[in-house]
Structure 1
Amino acid sequence: MGKTVTTYLIDGDPKGTQYAFIRNTTCQMFVVPRSNLSYLNTQEKLQKPAFYILLGEDEATKPQAYIGETENFRERVKDHDSKKAFWQKALIFVSKDADMTKADVQYLEHKAIVEAKKTNAFILSDNKQTPKVPNLPEYQQDSMDEFFEYVKFLAAFSGCTIFEVSQPKAEHLFYTKGRGSEAKGFYSSNGFTVLKGSVIATKTAPSFNWKEKRESMLKEYVANDGDKLILSSDKTFSSVSTAASFCLGRSANGWTEWKDEDGNTLDSVYRKQLE
């Protein structure tokens, strides 16, 4: 089913301050860069209970995030601004038509941390503990569950994949083998996703031009199983070739390295489908 998302670029910059909401829903998302926190002074909604995510992407192989809730984001963010160095922007979620309660946003925080840890796509070093579920009436839990689905949609709409779990279609699985690697994954609009459980090459070819970054990624995404390296969570790459190179530990053309169970290359299935 299609959705209509209304987005307003407050300063005319697609990467700047903005807000968005889905038509016929109460969930509203504000995207506020750290460089424009003064905007918070103009929005009464951001001085009331809110669920939020702080995002940063510079310092680690995985992007980093902090998930929180507050009764007044404008006041809460002052502490984050002085104590948390990693983040560059905040996603703030509020009710467009009616105010949420403290218990409501605590419930959203609990669900968000559980799901973000499950996807394992972001570093959550400041969310060491998963908060307890607040005591909400059943009807209110149902309402917040629905609200959280809109949160996930709007977060993805803004480019934040912290809650995304890609679902492969069996007929679109592709495989690559070599240098001790036996990996599988699938191609989608997000890029190429290498699936959890794939065996990754232990060594990197001497001529490989992003050896250090690959070694950092191995520390974040791979677990040792005897003499094998096993991918511990799904990992999506924007480039099919980067995905293949990561798995094989050498330079690779992903369009020809990834093949389905019938031996068809990714190139023949996707890039030549219009010929």
Structure 2
Amino acid sequence: MSTGEAFGRTIQLFLVDGKPTGLRKASIHGWTGVLFVSGASAFGDLTARDEVDRTGVYILSGPDLDTAGSTRVYIGSGNSVSDRIKQSALKRDFWETAITVTTSDDDMSKGHAEYLEARLIEQTAKAGRVTLDNGTHPDTSRRRLPEADIANMEQFLANLRIILPVIGLDMLKPQPKAVTHTAQPVEERTTGEVQFEIRHKSGVKATAVEEEGEFIVLEGSEVLTGTGYVQHDTATATKERLLAEGVLVPMEGTQEPAKMRFTRPWSFTSPSAAAAVVLDRHSNGRLEWKVKGASQSYHDWQQAQAAKQEAAE
């Protein structure tokens, strides 16, 4: 393995009561960090764990009741995570998932936990993927720790970036440059990326790129609305959110079915999720999206890429 090449990690996920919906314990091989994850039904099992009655941080997450299709999180810390998370959970009715982060050797100090809490809040706000329920954003520069301790906590944070998406909470991942670098023309910020398009018989045109595993519909793309087709609840919630946040705006002068337009890029979890919003119906995005200027579908393009990679190995 060459220097700088990505290497694999072993993530251990233990179902405490043998049920996938019950209390779960997660860790990375060789790391002292220990995470417990529970829903409301297993919350008592979570707070009863000895490993949770330690200094650390915690996260409460659930649907954002103010924004359809969005997630809201609260991040906190305490000398006894068990006590603090119980207090926080009683004050918040949005949460559906509780996550605690402590260490197997009980070696995290109050200063470490407060630094980690501040950095988690800072990085979550910067990523902009969820709504923060925290009223204040602690200043990490005021968390005075020795240089070596800061380095250790930054490595701890790096491991959380790896393990949190595995347990279903991707709140720290930076947005793709196609979303964030909007001051640059589309051609510049998507250099090297293959562009895909939908050209529908209704006249709707949409353009997208795939970056870091995310499917991003670019600004200026058009969307059908009011077609009367049955929509999946997720697609409906996503469209409501995009309208509420001004990402989608109605296009004046359009005939039935009406159209809307993306005012800025938006990242979707899959080509199908993007196509469902663009076409206002259930859609197989792997077939609907075509390589721009060609007839090759996203599916065929992906298969061709896989064949090239296999031939190169």
Same fold (TM over 0.5): yes
2:220 aligned with 1:216: no
Alpha-carbon offset, residue 143 of structure 1: 0.6
Whichever residue aligns with residue 220 of structure 2, its letter is V
Change in CA separation of 1:267 and 1:186 when aligned onto 2, cut-off 3 Å: same
- Give the equivalent residue in structure 1 for 2:49: 43
CA contact (8 A) 1:4 1:22 kept: yes
Change in CA separation of 1:250 and 1:12 when aligned onto 2, cut-off 3 Å: closer
Change in CA separation of 1:258 and 1:203 when aligned onto 2, cut-off 3 Å: closer
2:217 aligned with 1:201: no
CA distance in 2, matches of 1:78, 1:174: 48
1:246 equivalent among 246, 252, 277: 277
CA distance in 1, matches of 2:78, 2:194: 42
1:52-84 per-position Cα deviation (integer Å, ceiling 9, x unaligned): 111213843112211111221211122223221
- Give the equivalent residue in structure 2 for 1:159: 168
**2:60 aligned counterpart, secondary structure:** strand
**1:129 aligned counterpart, secondary structure:** coil
**2:225 aligned counterpart, secondary structure:** coil
Greater Rg by CA: 2
**1:199 aligned counterpart, secondary structure:** coil
1:27 equivalent among 23, 30, 33: 33
Q: Which runs of 5+ in 1 are unaligned?
A: none
Alpha-carbon offset, residue 150 of structure 1: 0.9
- Give the equivalent residue in structure 1 for 2:98: 90
Alpha-carbon offset, residue 174 of structure 1: 3.0
- Give the equivalent residue in structure 2 for 1:110: 118
2:153 equivalent among 123, 135, 144: 144
Whichever residue aligns with residue 116 of structure 2, its letter is L
Moved more, 132-141 or 109-118: 109-118
- Give the equivalent residue in structure 1 for 2:254: none
- Provide the TM-score with structure 2 as the length reference: 0.73
Q: Kindly, what percent of the aligned residue pairs are identical?
A: 23
- Give the equivalent residue in structure 1 for 2:69: 61
- Give the equivalent residue in structure 1 for 2:180: none
- Give the equivalent residue in structure 2 for 1:237: 269
CA distance in 2, matches of 1:93, 1:148: 11
Alpha-carbon offset, residue 221 of structure 1: 5.2
**1:244 aligned counterpart, secondary structure:** helix
CA distance in 2, matches of 1:52, 1:150: 15
- Provide the TM-score with structure 1 as the length reference: 0.82
1:80-99 per-position Cα deviation (integer Å, ceiling 9, x unaligned): 23221111121111122242
CA contact (8 A) 2:223 2:277 kept: no
Pairwise CA RMSD: 3.1
Alpha-carbon offset, residue 162 of structure 1: 1.2
